[in-house]
Amino acid sequence: MSLTIEETKLRNKELIAEVLKAYPEKSAKRRAKHLDVHEEGQSECDVKSNIKSLPGVMTIRGCAYAGSKGVVWGPIKDMIHISHGPVGCGQYSWASRRNYYIGTTGIDSFGTMQFTSDFQEKDIVFGGDKKLEKIMDEIQVLFPLNKGITVQSECPIGLIGDDIEAVSKKKSKEYGGKTIVPVRCEGFRGVSQSLGHHIANDAIRDWVFEKTDADKNKFEATPYDVAIIGDYNIGGDAWSSRILLEEMGLRVIAQWSGDGTIAELENTPKAKLNVLHCYRSMNYISRYMEEKYGIPWVEYNFFGPSKIEASLREIASHFDDKIKEGAERVIAKYKALTDAVIAKYQPRLKDKTVMLFVGGLRPRHVIGAYEDLGMKVVGTGYEFGHNDDYQRTTHYVKDGTLIYDDVTGFEFEKFVEKIQPDLVGSGIKEKYVFQKMGVPFRQMHSWDYSGPYHGYDGFAIFARDMDMAINSPVWALTKAPWKK
Amino acid sequence: MSQNAEKVIDHEMLFREPEYVEMFAKKKEQFEFGFPIEKMEEIREWTKSKEYQDLNFAREGLTVNPAKACQPLGAVFAAVGFAKTLPFVHGSQGCVAYYRSHFSRHFKEPTSCVSSSMTEDAAVFGGLNNMVDGLQNAYSLYKPDMIAVSTTCMAEVIGDDLGSFIRTAKQKGSVTEDFDVPYAHTPAFVGSHITGYDNALKGVLTHFWEGKERTPNESINFIGGFDGNVVGNMPEIRRILDLFGADYTVVCDPSDVWNTPTDGEFRMYDGGTTKDEVKQALNAKATLSFQGFSTEKTTKYIAETGQEVVALYHPMGVAGTDQFLMEISRLTGKPIPESLEKERGRLMDAIADSSAHIHGKKFALYGDPDLMLGMTAFLLELGAEPVHVLSTNGGPEWAEKVQALFDASPFGAGCHVYPKKDLWHMRSLLFTEPVDLLIGNTYGKYLERDCNVPLVRMGFPIFDRHHYHRFPIWGYEGSLRVMVAILDEIFEALDANTIDTSKTDYSYDIIR
């Protein structure tokens, strides 16, 4: 009963009209701008994005703090990131993003720990700067191998007028020039995580690059030095990416920021090329390094063999023949693996439909991986995308795809109920809603505690996981036989 | 290349393959500029010392790995416990994303909750418009019977007045005048998640009871408090009260909505205390709170209405459950059912069978203050020694109660209570005064790794084991489960320690 493209478009348009009916008039008008059916040939998906969520609609979005502490800074493993403010923000984001790292936690690495100033009423009334100073002193005593400190501001900081910049400068001087980074990522800033990424990027620019002693942490540069930008090493993603870059002859001098260190951040300006995976969260610093240090950057996509292959060649095109040959060698080396993965899983997944709603790069980046397995993405949207994300999305989506920006709980449920995809890929808040409805689901933020999904090694895991979600016997049993 | 389509290798084993191990070593050596391994080892050893412990306990500003969350989380828990009620958190939206994720990771269930999505302009001008639009949108989309409002720290810092905002929103037609919008101010910088539960629950009761005449009847109210095992505990409490034939109302019961079936339908609302039940609850002769520290303000408010209030502290085990049942019996005037007496006997039987394996074992435990009191009492009853009892959100008053338990038992002699401390304090304690077992939530696994002490998972949240929350830890039946969980860890540890062939496996017994 598959619909023609025209029928699909009509169905999707009707569906949009239907969900909008549930809103009060003013809100319906505003939400209408975020929903669209993709028309082939359009240069961008015709939706508004990166604007405020409506109150009360159950947006899936987070906040600037989540974008800075949770995404950009949190994974830098040898620094201590203070969740500055009340206890909750740090507690809920404690070790929940699965940014894998190697290190001795609590001694020389701190990624899966929760450092908080645990604000009390008196800190709100009298300000928290004195407490912050004391906290930094205590960190220096109890965690002497920390390589730096960041202050991740929670909502109250910006509201009570604390001067975390002054505290950071003072303490940095006191500790002999230690890297201490104040980050103004209060949760009320901006409309989503996205501004938090930007603020965190700017903090690296202002408090790391601007203050780094070029003679520190020296190494011999090579013509093949690159930095991985925008890979948070969720379930080991950056590792299964790095290995490919190294196998083709490049030398990865830094990982931003999964399994990353402050030394790697500081040394990144020595790279010959920045390779950027999550454009949304780290395009800012890539552009800055291009302007300031003349380092070109290139976006790549390591989901699924088609995109990996194209990306390896694209990256190689910035280097000499040695690297170009290296790329071909890597592609050839993994051919047997990807052929075997596709041969095994495509027959089980062919023509299955997927609806996505994720953040960062994934609403478009994973489409190719699904297509490598013969699957079709019929709906997608960004939690916190901007216009440039939707422009990039047109290269990925098919005619008639339903596009939903900052989807609300209500809309997403209705869309899935009507479209009945074979798989939904979204987050933990959405997972159980759809599983209750009998729809197979994979978390596409945390890889549902699996991964890596990047690179060739990751693609095998991705394919296996999608198969086990869709073809699990449980979905045939959700309806009692006497009710069928 | 080690990946393989036939048998896909997961992260657990993939990164132990030689090509990855070599890659990690090179990255560390060439680019990380870390400390030499000897330095790392030196500091690691130092963190195990008494000297380090003293410095660690001298902390005044820094909190590391706390065992508590913030007020609004508890407020959402309380709101979820009422029928067809949508929790509405006034303030920044990221908070709500966090609460929903946190609950979903623990219960493996959806948690519906909306935010008023305040941003910079609301920080300057106040969040009135967000409340007005938010209530209207939430009501239009999700058709609740009630919207329970609480706040994030942002709204509290700028001083938004919920009462007047909700009145204005009603005047502007966001919801009708008679639509129920109970509310509570729940600043994240005061107390913890249990305080938020308390405030929000009191907010609901106040909304329905204020100005109403109380006509006392013979029913009793039961309030559970913030409880990670609510899905298993609440049905157990109902079973016990039903066995008594008691006339009762459970006030705040999220055990259905966090336990919905997978049958093709998503139930945004399911079960919970209805508005009529809340209204009727005013007339009860008494309210029994299972967790006194989680319901301090609520029980005080209820007492002011003229009801008798009995606040227990998470009674568990034999004597704890005895006390609970005797209170029910006293309040309802009904005798303790024989079947429960038999359950008691069975728990005693199980303890008698197994206590030799628990007797004299040293325990460290941490968590919410009420749970710690119940668990400490139970351990002492089993002949165990709860040598470190720690709570991040328990204060001096709580510590006195724990000390009283120690003082009343010969097994409490060498035991200490640690109010307002965190899991980094606990780490020091576990090195300087090691124990046999640790009891706490999922975050305890880092202590399990660092200090090599087996973890019995109990409390909230538990993310890394599935379905524990579905089973009761209350009543004689629940206590039995708790004891089995402890025994399992003891036996697992014993087996692991004796499994070496021809070295230690003489003790690798099949009968214990």
Distance CA A75, CA A97 (A): 9
Distance CA A120, CA B368 (A): 18
Give the DSSP H or E segment for B220: strand B220-223
| Among candidate residues B443, B46, B429, the one with its CA nearest the CA of residue A108 | B46
Percentage of chain A lying above the pLDDT 70 cut: 100
Contact at 8 Å (CB) between A82 and A131? Answer: no
Give the gap in angstroms from C-alpha A395 to the nearest C-alpha of chain B: 29
Q: What integer pLDDT is reported at residue A42 of this predicted model? A: 82
Q: B119, B179, B194, B368: best mutation site toward chain A, by most A Cβ within 10 Å?
A: B119
Q: B80, B93, B423: best mutation site toward chain A, by most A Cβ within 10 Å?
A: B93
Sheet strands (E) in B323-452: 362-366, 385-391, 416-419, 437-440
Q: What is the DSSP string of A16-81?
A: HHHHHHTS-HHHHHHHHTTEEE--TT-SS-----SSPPPTTS-B----HHIIIIIIIITT-TTSEE
Cβ of A139 and B62 within 8 Å?
Answer: yes
Q: What integer pLDDT is reported at residue B314 of this predicted model? A: 98
Cβ of B10 and A461 within 8 Å?
Answer: yes
Q: Is A298 on the interface with B (CB under 8 A)?
A: no
Q: What integer pLDDT is reported at residue A212 of this predicted model? A: 82
Q: What integer pLDDT is reported at residue B477 of this predicted model? A: 98
Assign A34 a pLDDT band (cuts: 50, 70, 90): very high
Q: Is the dihedral of CA A63, A66, A68, A72 positive or negative?
A: negative
Q: How many secondary structure helices (H) and strands (E) does chain B include?
A: 21, 13
Cβ of A55 and B59 within 8 Å?
Answer: no
Distance CA B82, CA B12 (A): 42
CB contact set of B55 (below 8 Å; sequence gap of 6+): A141, A142
Pick from B157, B188, B262: CB nearest A436: B262
- What are residue B308's phi and psi, to 5 degrees? -75, 140
Sheet strands (E) in A165-323: 180-183, 225-231, 251-257, 273-276, 297-299
Which residues in chain B have Cβ-Cβ distances shorter than 8 Å to A347? none
Pick from B3, B61, B95: CB nearest A135: B61
CB contact set of A425 (below 8 Å; sequence gap of 6+): A354, A355, A356, A357, A358, A362, A366, A441, A442, A443, A444
Q: Is A70 on the interface with B (CB under 8 A)?
A: no
pTM over 0.90: yes
Q: What is the DSSP string of B90-134?
A: ES-HHHHHHHHHHHHHHHSS----EE----HHHHHH-SHHHHHHH
Q: What integer pLDDT is reported at residue A483 of this predicted model? A: 87
Distance CA B95, CA B107 (A): 18
Please give the residue that has the higher pLDDT: either A215 or B481: B481
Question: Mean pLDDT across chain A, nearest whole number?
Answer: 97
Which residues in chain B have Cβ-Cβ distances shorter than 8 Å to A217? 33
Cβ of A23 and B158 within 8 Å?
Answer: no
Distance CA B185, CA B427 (A): 35
Provide the 3-class DSSP secondary structure of residue B157. helix
Cβ of A89 and B98 within 8 Å?
Answer: yes
Cβ of B142 and A116 within 8 Å?
Answer: no
pLDDT of residue B167 exceeding 80, the answer is: yes
Q: B9, B16, B64, B77: best mutation site toward chain A, by most A Cβ within 10 Å?
A: B64
> What region, left, alpha or beta, does residue B272 occupy, with left being phi > 0 and alpha being psi -120 to 50 degrees?
left
Q: Is B130 on the interface with A (CB under 8 A)?
A: yes
Assign A215 a pLDDT band (cuts: 50, 70, 90): confident
Give the DSSP H or E segment for B248: strand B248-250
pLDDT of residue A399 exceeding 60, the answer is: yes
Burial label for A185, CB within 10 Å (0-12, 13-18, 19+), is: buried
Distance CA A296, CA A273 (A): 5
Cis-peptide into B461, omega within 30 deg = yes
Query: Average of pLDDT values for A379-404?
Result: 96
pLDDT of residue A1 exceeding 60, the answer is: no
Which residues in chain A have Cβ-Cβ distances shorter than 8 Å to B19? 243
Which residues in chain B have Cβ-Cβ distances shorter than 8 Å to A89? 70, 94-95, 98
Assign A43 a pLDDT band (cuts: 50, 70, 90): confident
pLDDT of residue A45 exceeding 80, the answer is: no
- Compute the 3-state secondary structure of chain B and give helix, strand, coil in percent, each to the nearest 5: 50, 10, 35
Query: Average of pLDDT values for A372-389?
Result: 97
Other C-beta atoms closer than 10 Å to the C-beta of B270 total 15
Residue B500 tokens, joined: 């070496």
Q: What integer pLDDT is reported at residue A8 of this predicted model? A: 97
Q: Which residues are paired to A377 by β-bridges? A: A354
Query: Average of pLDDT values for A411-429?
Result: 98
Burial label for B440, CB within 10 Å (0-12, 13-18, 19+), is: buried
Q: DSSP state, A316?
A: H
pLDDT digits (tens, 9 = 90+) for A425-444: 999 999 999 999 999 999 99
Which residues in chain B have Cβ-Cβ distances shorter than 8 Å to A96? 101, 105
Distance CA A439, CA A475 (A): 7
Distance CA A369, CA A349 (A): 12
Q: At which residue do the structure tokens 């390591």 appear?
A: A302
**Which strands make up the sheet holding B416-419, listed edge to edge?**
B416-419, B385-391, B362-366, B437-440, B455-457
Q: DSSP state, B294?
A: G
pLDDT digits (tens, 9 = 90+) for A136-188: 999 999 999 999 999 999 999 999 999 999 999 999 999 999 999 999 999 99
Q: At which residue do the structure tokens 């505290």 appear?
A: A167
Q: Is A33 on the interface with B (CB under 8 A)?
A: no
Q: Is B113 on the interface with A (CB under 8 A)?
A: yes
Which residues in chain A have Cβ-Cβ distances shorter than 8 Å to B120? 188-190
Distance CA A116, CA A85 (A): 7
pLDDT of residue A44 exceeding 80, the answer is: no
pLDDT digits (tens, 9 = 90+) for B240-290: 999 999 999 999 999 999 999 999 999 999 999 999 999 999 999 999 999
Residue of chain B nearest A20, judged by CA positions: B141
Query: Average of pLDDT values for A237-253?
Result: 98
pLDDT digits (tens, 9 = 90+) for A55-81: 999 999 999 999 999 999 999 999 999
pLDDT digits (tens, 9 = 90+) for B427-483: 999 999 999 999 999 999 999 999 999 999 999 999 999 999 999 999 999 999 999
